[in-house]
Amino acid sequence: MSTALEAASDGWVVTKRNLLKIKRVPDLVIFSTIQPIMFVLLFAYVFGGAIATPGINYREFLIPGIFVQTVAFGAGITAIGLADDLQKGIVDRFRSLPMSRGAVLFGRTSSDLINNVFTVIVMSVTGVIVGWRINEGFLRGVAGFAILFLFAYAMSWISAVIGLSVKSVEVAQSAGFIWMFPLTFLSNAFVPTSSLPSALRPIAEWNPISSVVLALRELWGNAPAGAANGTGFPAQHPIWLAIGWCLLILVIFVPLSISRYRRAASR
């Protein structure tokens, strides 16, 4: 019990250290917030009229997808931060201190989660301005945000593995984001999966991004009608599938990250 409390305490110290770093470099938060706002305005006002979403306004259909895309891309900060700490020798300094081995990783992922929370708050205000609403009540609204932040936290652990596996910040920046583009755009984040080619449709429907987006749309009352909402098991059980994807990612990548951290710290 005391070991767990010490690990939590050490992790919180590292979290505060990372948050102070963000405070000293506000450009990081500013530019990570500008991009999703640009996506909202671009898709809502430029492409929105060309995308059919039966039974729901496209802007309400869009915002859950933008939220998920934002936290997925925001997780890339974890890879950059860890690679930067390794390159500057800060991890070696942490190793010389009497602190939990997992504190660096838990502190890094926790601070990035807090950063994602701030970004989503800004995005929520932007969404309300363009016409997005939560139509299913307070509790379902909170449940949707809980799944969103669980997904954000899980994605940070994938990025942690990437950051600990590369040898420079520049490589971490590229490797942390390049795989996000096909994962995000081959999903239902911006268009219904029914509009995709038949060969790509099953891939998009089982995509973790699609599952989380569908869960948010169902909980918030932003789902389109009929086939535009998807078909099969992913469309019928989006909430449980989204939670399952998040837990599976954590089960795989938390121990993998800790293993990579021990190797990276010793090289």
- pTM of the complete model: 0.89
Residue 1 has pLDDT above 50, yes or no: no
Q: What is the pLDDT of residues 234-263, one digit of tens each?
A: 888 999 999 999 999 999 999 999 888 887
**Sign of the Cα pseudo-torsion (54, 57, 62, 64, in order):** negative
pLDDT band, very low/low/confident/very high, at 22 (cuts 50, 70, 90):
low
pLDDT value at 71 more than 50: yes
pLDDT per residue as tens digits for the range 109-119: 888 898 889 88
More confidently predicted of 164 and 213: 213
The string of DSSP letters for the chain reads: -HHHHHHHHHHHHHHHHHHHHHHH-THHHHHHHHHHHHHHHHIIIIIGGGS--TTS-HHHHHHHHHHHHHHHHHTHHHHHHHHHHHHTTHHHHHHTSSS-TTHHHHHHHHHHHHHHHHHHHHHHHHHHHHT----S-HHHHHHHHHHHHHHHHHHHHHHHHHHHHSSSHHHHHHHHHHTHHHHHHTTTSSS-GGGS-TTTHHHHHH-HHHHHHHHHHHHHT-PPSGGGG--HHHHHSHHHHHHHHHHHHHHHHHHHHHHHHHHHHH-
Residue 214 has pLDDT above 70, yes or no: yes
Predicted pLDDT of residue 4? 57
Domain count, the chain: 1
How far is it, in rounded angstroms, from Cα 76 to Cα 56? 32
Give the Cα separation of 60 and 105 in Å (integer). Answer: 35
Q: Which residues lie closer than 8 Å to 47 by C-beta, 6 or more apart?
A: none
Residue ranges making up the domain that contains 182? 3-265
pLDDT at 2 (0 to 100): 47
Cα distances (angstroms) measured from residue 54 to each of 57, 187, 202, 240: 8, 18, 21, 24
Residues with Cβ within 8 Å of 231's Cβ and at least 6 positions away in sequence, in order, are 194, 205
